[in-house]
Structure 1
């Protein structure tokens, strides 16, 4: 898809409102590339679509094309203005919508990767998530979205340079005043859990990683994510399970093990509570 055609689509979306979204169709665990793009798309919010506060386990980058968005991170609010990029860790508490009286148009990508948490911390994006004057990143966003739309077998090879270019630009913008603070304990725990969701984690191990008591960890986790560490871990596993059931052919027991469940019956029970249907029913519907 050409950049001109992309802008034409956005013009039509601005007339009617809506989202053009593409999902990755492969298993992230088998990718040899450093960054895995889960989804991307183009959105026009005419100001009447309500608040978005979905829970994922990726980092999401939003590049505003026109208008202005309102983004809440924790208990703080930020303006997503034209030519600004907003970086969200969507496992934390957040919400966004068009600012009052605005039609907000933006492109976005959701991605994961071992170094993204480090970028997020070092560039102080947890407290200052908006990076200004980065309109030149639009071709990289469009390159990623085009690959997701095409769904060819070498899409990761083409998307990773675009991700690297985006990160390089953001690093340059923030290089003058990076945050050299130690990562906060919640971020440390999140990073360790994400790296090995199959492990049998308990609150004792989490507190040890954070260097906090269990009660201290619980309070800090609740403030950052509006949920407990165990509930956050369960949600992370369910999001991974949804993806694996959609893109892989592994049986339910194998998916359960990769998501940290030794007992497939326990996994199926939690999955049904999360999604409202069994893993098999979810897979059948996802592939229909």
Structure 2
């Protein structure tokens, strides 16, 4: 019978302090490593900076978030948003061996919400071998001294996040395979009638819901509010018209549902960083 190790062994133990410009541009890893847990391995915190991505290589572990405990096995990935109370550790009869990184980045909170990691922190059904390679790549570049090493660490973390997305969106037991019907109806109406005045209350009535309940369900499914989605659809339609026609900007604004050219131009620049006229000129030259 295999005797579990009593002490946790760090096979690789890495620290990093990213520069401000690296934090602004990239996902930054501030702590990472490879450990073989002992029987009493356990981490418990109320709050801590960053997000931890943990790849179980062998053995068994567990993670507890939002008051619920989840089992973790080999070739599974754990995502912990450390800003919320959390705990994780090894199963004493078969302590896990893991790779882990603690990453920081402005979008990680939003991504973790989209992937519902508070209720489902464990990911399965992805290429664990490729994930292990990405963890290893982040370790190697984390120890580098070149300015470009930060970009390579960012690429490795981005690949791991992409695998989490792929695993979650590919598993019909963990996420809705289709958009809820009320959301589908709202999207269909906005795609067909983007050029007409549309209010959230009308979409909610179409869905047979209260306005607040509909807005919450739409944002949970799409990741943005109905009005923000409609604005972006109108800007997408305007882009095509700016390139394919010679219509004045004021007329294109009217065609896509803006009664006021000023508000159209303001939204357009906010979303594209260009005025409608600049966009037309740049795209026609390319």
TM-score of the superposed pair, with normalisation by structure 2: 0.53
Find the aligned partners of 1:91 and 1:169 in 2 and give their Cα distance: 22
Match of 1:53 in 2: 44
**What's the CA shift string for 1:190-240, capped at 9, x where partnerless?**
xxxxxxxxxxxxxxxxxxxxxxxxxxxxxxxxxxxxxxxxxxxxxxxxxxx
Find the aligned partners of 1:107 and 1:43 in 2 and give their Cα distance: 7
Output aligned runs, 1:145-164, within 5 Å: 145-164=139-158
User: Aligned pair in 2 of structure 1 residues 92, 32: CA closer, same or farther (>3 Å)?
Assistant: closer
User: Aligned pair in 2 of structure 1 residues 127, 26: CA closer, same or farther (>3 Å)?
Assistant: same
The higher-RCO structure (CA 8 Å, 6+ apart) is 1
Match of 2:8 in 1: 17
Q: Identify which of 80, 86, 110 aligns with 1:88.
A: 80
- Shift in Å at residue 28 of structure 1? 3.8
Output aligned runs, 1:94-173, within 5 Å: 94-134=86-126, 135=128, 136-173=130-167
- Shift in Å at residue 129 of structure 1? 0.5
Match of 1:35 in 2: 27
The reply on whether 1:74 has 2:27 as its aligned counterpart is no
Match of 1:263 in 2: none
Find the aligned partners of 1:16 and 1:36 in 2 and give their Cα distance: 29
**What's the CA shift string for 1:165-189, capped at 9, x where partnerless?**
11111111222465789xxxxxxxx
- Shift in Å at residue 44 of structure 1? 1.2
Find the aligned partners of 2:83 and 2:57 in 1 and give their Cα distance: 25
Find the aligned partners of 1:91 and 1:128 in 2 and give their Cα distance: 16
Ranges in structure 1 where 5+ consecutive residues have no aligned partner: 1-13, 182-288
**What's the CA shift string for 1:52-107, capped at 9, x where partnerless?**
11442101000000001121113110111100000001121111111131121000
- The answer on whether the counterparts of 2:38 and 2:92 sit within 8 Å (CA) in structure 1 is no
Ranges in structure 2 where 5+ consecutive residues have no aligned partner: 181-286
- RMSD of equivalent CA atoms: 2.5
Larger radius of gyration: 2
TM-score of the superposed pair, with normalisation by structure 1: 0.53
